[in-house]
Structure 1
Amino acid sequence: MSQDKAHYPPVEPIGAGLKGRCPRCGEGRLFSGYLNVNENCGNCGLGFDFADAGDGPAVFVILIVGFLVVGLALWAEVSFGPPLWLHFLLWIPLAVVGSLVPLRLFKGVLINLQYANKAREGRLDHGED
Structure 2
Amino acid sequence: MAEEITAFSEPAPRDVAQAIRRGAFGKCPACGSGRLYGRYLKVVDACAACGEELHHHRADDAPPYFTILIAGHFIVAGVMMVEDYFHPDYWVHIAMWFPLTIGLCLWILPRIKGALVGLQWALRMHGFGGRDALDPARPAPEPTAN
TM-score (norm 1): 0.78
Query: Using the alignment, how far apart are the partners of 2:86 and 2:108 within structure 1?
Result: 29
Name which of 14, 24, 34 aligns with 1:18: 24
Aligned counterpart for 2:59 among listed residues 53, 56, 75: 53
Find out whether 1:62 has 2:68 as its counterpart: yes
Q: Does 1:96 align with 2:98?
A: no
Q: State yes or no: 1:79 paired with 2:85.
A: yes
Mapped to 2, the partners of 1:53 and 1:119 lie a distance apart of: 11
Identical residues among aligned pairs (%) = 37
Report the Cα distance in structure 1 between the residues aligned to 2:27 and 2:74, rounded to whole angstroms. 29
Mapped partners of 1:40, 1:28: distance in 2: 9
Paired with 1:14 and 1:49, the residues of 2 have a C-alpha distance of: 17
Measured after TM superposition, the shift of residue 88 of structure 1 is 1.0
- Name structure 1 gaps, 5 residues minimum: 1-6, 122-129
Structure 2 letter corresponding to 1:54: D
Deviation at 1:10, TM superposition (A): 5.5
The answer to which structure, 1 or 2, has the higher relative contact order (CA under 8 A, 6+ apart) is 2
Name the larger-Rg structure.
2
User: Relative to structure 2, which stretch is displaced further, 93-102 or 45-54?
Assistant: 45-54
Report how far residue 79 of structure 1 moved. 3.1
Taking structure 2 as the reference length, what is the TM-score of the superposition? Answer: 0.70
By how many angstroms is 1:44 displaced?
Answer: 1.6
State the 1:19 CA deviation.
2.1
